[in-house]
Amino acid sequence: MSAGKDLGHQVPSTTDGPIGMFDSGFGGLTVARAVIDLLPSEDLVYIGDTGRYPYGDKKSEDVRAYARELAWSLVKDHHAKAIVVACNTAAAALPVHELEAELAAAGVMVPVIGVIEPGAQSLVRATRSGRVGVIGTMGTIGSGAYDRAVARTSLGSTVQLVSAPCPGFVEFVERGRTTGPDVTILAQRLLAPILEADVDALLLGCTHYPYLARVISDVLGSHVTLVSSADETAFALRDQLGQAAMLKPDTGASGQHQFMSSGDVAWFKELGTRLLGPELTNVNIWNRKTDES
Ligand code: DGL
């Protein structure tokens, strides 16, 4: 993207325009569900980049480039009034304040909300013992984004964070496999460091993981509180839009929900409906037509 690009009249108006969201695939639907429930009148456009998933094992520069491309598509092609980066790996590779500043430098004044800060805040609130865990993709855990976010959030209190990457979890979800002996065996192996650290709260630091919550909880035990950033992100979005007078007036009518996939659209519709619910009817192919360079 070239900074300083002038989009002039394409700057979205304050209350019109959908909330734009993206993820590498189905995971961001956990956040979409929370946003639809909390802000039912708002229109929503969701891009699942299933053609390039998974992001978790890709180079950070590549994921940064994908995140920029998706954000630009949402503002240019769909006139999004706000962007929710519903993917931890993308938000770890391209922090939301950087993305927001890049868009603003090009004349596009849209709030950008990520999942990392709201998730970290929720995790710190959930712990009693001060021993907490976070699981995520290799990219997210390797970036140290949660170490920094938890340190910022827990200023003044002692919180010990143990992190574990969980390669393989996202692939199970993308195939629609959220339970079964092979998922449990993988979870037992990957969650061993979390069990050993004796945490009382675990943040699901990948938006795909809430779909595996039952297996994860079964492995860790019910004394460990599982924290998902989906609800907290939806609340953060509502607060930010409210403060900026950008919330659509609630007329009682439900918003329009549009979903796009860069991969297999029929599969996105089939699995997406199972994961998100009945709102996922309108699915189209996402073409990389925006040239933001
Ligand atoms: N949902 C993405 C996240 O929150 C998954 C990343 C992937 O595609 O590996 O990190």
Please tell me the distance between residue 9's alpha carbon and the centre of ligand 1 in angstroms. Answer: 33
Please tell me the distance between residue 90's alpha carbon and the centre of ligand 1 in angstroms. Answer: 8
- Measured CA to CA, the distance from residue 85 to residue 82 in angstroms comes to 10
| Cβ of residue 88 lying under 6 Å from some atom of ligand 1 | yes
Q: Report pLDDT digits (tens) over 201-241.
A: 999 999 999 999 999 999 999 999 999 999 999 999 999 99
| Cβ of residue 206 lying under 6 Å from some atom of ligand 1 | yes
Would you call 166 a catalytic residue per the annotation? no
Q: One-letter amino acid identity for 244?
A: A
Tell whether the model's pLDDT for residue 293 goes beyond 60.
no
Tell me which residue has its CA closest to atom 8 in ligand 1.
Answer: 54
First to last CA, the chain: 4
Mean pLDDT of the 73-92 span: 97
For the entire predicted model, the pTM comes to 0.93
- Strand pairing partners for 82? 19
pLDDT band of residue 155 (cuts 50, 70, 90) is confident
Please tell me the distance between residue 226's alpha carbon and the centre of ligand 1 in angstroms. Answer: 18
- What percent of the chain is predicted at pLDDT more than 90? 88
- What percent of the chain is predicted at pLDDT more than 70? 93
* Residue from 35, 149, 173, 206 carrying the catalytic annotation: 206
**Predicted local distance difference test score (pLDDT) of residue 67:** 98
* Cα torsion 288, 289, 292, 293: sign: positive
pLDDT band of residue 7 (cuts 50, 70, 90) is very low
| Cβ of residue 50 lying under 6 Å from some atom of ligand 1 | no
**Predicted local distance difference test score (pLDDT) of residue 172:** 97
**Predicted local distance difference test score (pLDDT) of residue 289:** 64
| Cβ of residue 140 lying under 6 Å from some atom of ligand 1 | yes
Chain CA centroid to CA 184, Å: 24
What is the pairing mode between strands 19-23 and 44-48?
parallel
- Measured CA to CA, the distance from residue 188 to residue 191 in angstroms comes to 5
| Cβ of residue 233 lying under 6 Å from some atom of ligand 1 | no
| Cβ of residue 170 lying under 6 Å from some atom of ligand 1 | yes
Which of 74-83, 149-158, 189-198, 270-279 has the weakest average pLDDT? 149-158
pLDDT band of residue 49 (cuts 50, 70, 90) is very high
Would you call 206 a catalytic residue per the annotation? yes
pLDDT band of residue 2 (cuts 50, 70, 90) is very low
Q: Which of 101, 116, 103 is nearest to 70 (CA)?
A: 103
Please tell me the distance between residue 170's alpha carbon and the centre of ligand 1 in angstroms. Answer: 7
Q: Which atom of ligand 1 is nearest to the CA of 206?
A: 4
Q: Which atom of ligand 1 is nearest to the CA of 205?
A: 4
Please tell me the distance between residue 34's alpha carbon and the centre of ligand 1 in angstroms. Answer: 17
Domains along the chain? 19-114+231-285 (3.40.50.1860), 116-229 (3.40.50.1860)
Q: Which atom of ligand 1 is nearest to the CA of 90?
A: 10
